[in-house]
Amino acid sequence: MPLDPRTLRNAFGRFATGVTVVTCARDDGVPHGATVNAFTAVSLDPPLCQVTVTRESRARRYLESAPFAVNVLSTEQLDTAWHFAGRPQQPEPAWADGPTAPVLVGNAATISCLPWRTYDGGDHLIVIGEVADLAVTDADPLLFFGGRFRELAPPATGVHWAASLDSPEFGWFGARASFTPLRPHRSRAAP
């Protein structure tokens, strides 16, 4: 019995993901981007990652054997996510030249890739890139869950770790902690 597409989409939507914009250059050199949450690491050696795009997307045509960048969006880039998801925003997102393809400004991370392989993925294409360059910031990533954009939040455990001696809010050690200094190293002279 075939699965209901809406039920399947809802089930897949229970998996929280980051939000990326895959960017590349069109044949005429103009930058192009598409919001994609189907991104994953594939391999450390060689360094590979994958994005999955629909067969109908314009990005699919531009990614054919072309370098691209995976722009991991920060929480400050919600307008950027909407812009490249088909809801143009003003002002438009800022671009910069990247090592392999045009990149966006303000990302949590930027992963610049060279084309590796493309595979059939049903109504999508699985595009694998070899990571050629990385740029990472301290910005929190934008998330997508249950059909909505989200932000990171601490888990609601009901227990604060201030009861632990390792709480960073109180410093890693008590204010009265004292340490015995290490003795200097003495080299032994050869006899």
Domain ranges of the chain: 5-150
User: Given pLDDT bands bounded at 50, 70 and 90, which one contains residue 167?
Assistant: low
Strand ranges (E), the chain: 17-18, 20-25, 31-36, 39-44, 47-54, 68-72, 95-96, 103-104, 109-121, 124-136, 143-145, 148-150
Distance CA 73, CA 100 (A): 18
pLDDT at 188 over 60: no
Across residues 24-45, what is the average pLDDT? 92
Structure-model confidence comparison of residues 179 and 81, the more confident one:
81
Specify the pLDDT at position 20.
95
Burial class (CB in 10 A: 0-12, 13-18, 19+), 134: exposed
pLDDT at 171 over 60: no
The DSSP 8-state label assigned to residue 141 in this structure reads B
The pair phi, psi for residue 36, each rounded to 5°, is -140, 130
pLDDT at 182 over 70: no
Question: Which CATH architecture best describes the domain 5-150?
Answer: Roll (2.30)
As given in the structure block, the two tokens for residue 133 are 């360059």
